[in-house]
Amino acid sequence: MKVSKRANVAPFYAMEILKSANELADGGADIMHMEAGEPVSGTPARVLAAAHSALDESHLGYTEAQGNPRLRARIAQHYADMYREEVPVEQITVTIGASGGLILAFLAAFDIGDRIALAEPSYPAYRNTLEAFGLEVVGLPTGAETRFQPSVDLLEALDRPIQGLIVASPSNPTGTMIPRQQFEALIKYCEAQDIRIISDEIYHGITYGEAAQTILAYSSNAIIANGFSKYFAMTGWRLGWMVFPPDLVRPVERLAQNLFVSPPALAQISALAAFNCRDELEANVARYDENRKVLEEALPRAGFGNLAPCDGAFYVYADVSRLTNDSYEFCQKMLKETGVAATPGIDFDPKRGNRYVRFSFATNRETVQRAADALVAWLEVD
Ligand SMILES: Cc1ncc(COP(=O)(O)O)c(C=O)c1O
């Protein structure tokens, strides 16, 4: 029988490494998991308590397609608290993870055949989802000179117009942020050319220097993706939110009614408590910062070069071209010989990803230290 061409998306190699790591662990190996972009700290305590009460006391039926009005209002308050930005509640849609929000955004903003640009390297689901929806992905070959982020020069070098641009600052897999001037220039260029920007702000809150500013401060036409998986450490609750500009609000509502009916009720009620867990969440960020420093000191000693400057998120993107020209094979070998599980760069950059490996340090300090020691012992250069 027929299988659609649109289903022919690339595999997620991080999951292949995870599978190998689990097989080795079943055989008794000591594995240090640094392949998944998932906080090991787990759900904040107050969210769990709120979920217990909701199970006893709430009806937990469908909510409105755009989400629980109380949660939407709380998210609007979050923009006032974090960024001093006023966001009308109507423009906020609660979604099934940022992933569900990106689906709504791509469907609402673009037509089949539209061209959407993104940095190479980028979070792989952007590319794979866009392709499954019949959109053309335009990879921007970014490097250290633009902090692995899109720039006006890279857009001007394209041979044909684009209709959309995805940015993520801080980014997965590099952790880099778009410098303010570069960001402002990009927004100005895109507004002038009618290019819709989607700003993935899911790593906001996890920064090690300057705090990240929402694109709302610069543009009223952009789409914002965010959610509870990263800073709020609630991956399995499958809850995110989007801020849509006024012209997309009603189209998105109609799509959400039909595609998802509503986001999960239990997760929405529980997530109200997430905004009262600052101490716990800030302690997570402080731990990530320590982990980052351990890796930034140890990885160059082990021969991993040119680390992308990690401004935020919980990733180190390391150049392994001195060590291999096949990052997937390298990650499998590193896993078998040291127990350190990391993600090959081919997940993020189909063209140059064989030169890179991503380490996630959203884990505990002890795991990061043991991984750093194991890698230095494995590869140490004189
Ligand atoms: C940049 C980026 N955007 C979106 C997502 C998806 O997040 P969610 O769990 O909210 O669907 C991820 C998950 O790793 C991510 O790294």
Give pLDDT tens digits for 102-144: 999 999 999 999 999 999 999 999 999 999 999 999 999 999 9
Are both 21 and 66 inside the same structural domain? no
Are both 244 and 311 inside the same structural domain? no
The percent of residues in the chain predicted with pLDDT above 90, rounded, is 95
Q: How many CA atoms lie within 13 A of 76 on its CB side?
A: 16
How many domains are contained in the chain? 2
Span from the CA of 99 to the centroid of ligand 1 (angstroms):
6
Q: pLDDT higher for 305 or 239?
A: 239
Q: Span 306-321, mean pLDDT?
A: 96
Tokens of residue 210, six digits: 């300057």
Q: Is-contact 355 321, C-beta < 8 A? A: yes
Does residue 380 have a pLDDT over 80?
no
Q: Is-contact 74 87, C-beta < 8 A? A: no
Q: What angle do CA 330, 29, 357 make, to 5 degrees?
A: 25
Are both 110 and 182 inside the same structural domain? yes
Q: Span 354-382, mean pLDDT?
A: 92
Does residue 239 have a pLDDT over 70?
yes
Q: Span 37-64, mean pLDDT?
A: 95
* Residue where a domain stops, chosen among 276, 297, 326: 276
Are both 338 and 243 inside the same structural domain? no
Does residue 379 have a pLDDT over 90?
no
pLDDT confidence bin for 21, thresholds 50/70/90: very high
pLDDT attached to residue 305: 83
Are both 272 and 325 inside the same structural domain? no
Q: Are strands 196-200 and 223-227 parallel, antiparallel or unpaired?
A: parallel
Are both 64 and 191 inside the same structural domain? yes
Mutate to test the pocket of ligand 1, among 229, 232, 238 (most ligand atoms within 8 A of CB): 229
pLDDT attached to residue 22: 94
pLDDT attached to residue 219: 95
Are both 123 and 260 inside the same structural domain? yes
Does residue 382 have a pLDDT over 60?
no
Does residue 12 have a pLDDT over 90?
no
Give the span between the Cα atoms of 105 and 264, in whole angstroms: 19
Are both 346 and 314 inside the same structural domain? yes
Ligand 1 proximity of 166 Cβ (cutoff 6 Å): no
Give the span between the Cα atoms of 209 and 170, in whole angstroms: 11
pLDDT attached to residue 44: 97
Ranking 9-13, 73-77, 165-169, 345-349 by mean pLDDT, the lowest is 9-13
Ligand 1 proximity of 374 Cβ (cutoff 6 Å): no
User: What CATH number is given to the structural domain containing 292?
Assistant: 3.40.640.10
pLDDT attached to residue 11: 86
Ligand 1 proximity of 101 Cβ (cutoff 6 Å): no
Q: What is the pLDDT of residues 185-217, one digit of tens each?
A: 999 999 999 999 999 999 999 999 999 999 999
Does residue 232 have a pLDDT over 70?
yes
pLDDT attached to residue 150: 98
For 120, residues 6+ apart whose C-beta sits below 8 A from its C-beta are 139, 140, 141, 142, 348, 349, 350, 351, 352
Ligand 1 proximity of 173 Cβ (cutoff 6 Å): no
Ligand 1 proximity of 172 Cβ (cutoff 6 Å): yes
Span from the CA of 139 to the centroid of ligand 1 (angstroms):
19
**10 Å Cβ neighbour count for 368?**
25
Q: Is-contact 241 95, C-beta < 8 A? A: yes
Ligand 1 proximity of 99 Cβ (cutoff 6 Å): yes
What interhelical angle do 246-259 and 97-109 show, nearest 10?
A: 120
Ranking 14-18, 84-88, 252-256, 309-313 by mean pLDDT, the lowest is 14-18
Q: What is the DSSP string of 141-209?
A: E--GGGTTS--HHHHHT-SS--SEEEEESS-TTT-----HHHHHHHHHHHHHTTPEEEEE-TTTT-BSS
Are both 101 and 240 inside the same structural domain? yes
Are both 369 and 283 inside the same structural domain? yes
Are both 143 and 209 inside the same structural domain? yes
Ligand 1 proximity of 291 Cβ (cutoff 6 Å): no
Span from the CA of 36 to the centroid of ligand 1 (angstroms):
11
What's the chain's average pLDDT? 96
Span from the CA of 262 to the centroid of ligand 1 (angstroms):
19
Span from the CA of 56 to the centroid of ligand 1 (angstroms):
30
Strand partners, 356: 319
Whether omega before 170 lies within 30 degrees of 0, making that bond cis, reads yes
Range of the domain at 12: 5-43+278-379
Span from the CA of 263 to the centroid of ligand 1 (angstroms):
16
Ligand 1 proximity of 106 Cβ (cutoff 6 Å): no
Give the span between the Cα atoms of 158 and 364, in whole angstroms: 42
Helical H runs in 231-341? 246-259, 265-271, 278-302, 327-338
Determine if the pTM surpasses 0.95.
yes
Give the span between the Cα atoms of 121 and 351, in whole angstroms: 9
Give the span between the Cα atoms of 140 and 151, in whole angstroms: 9
pLDDT attached to residue 381: 58
Q: What is the pLDDT of residues 254-289, one digit of tens each?
A: 999 999 999 999 999 999 999 999 999 999 999 999
pLDDT attached to residue 253: 98
Are both 266 and 286 inside the same structural domain? no
Residue of the CA atom closest to atom 14 of ligand 1: 37
First to last CA, the chain: 58
Give the span between the Cα atoms of 162 and 117, in whole angstroms: 7
Ligand 1 atom closest to the Cα of residue 37 is 14
Ligand 1 proximity of 37 Cβ (cutoff 6 Å): yes
Span from the CA of 380 to the centroid of ligand 1 (angstroms):
34
Ligand 1 proximity of 71 Cβ (cutoff 6 Å): no
pLDDT attached to residue 220: 94
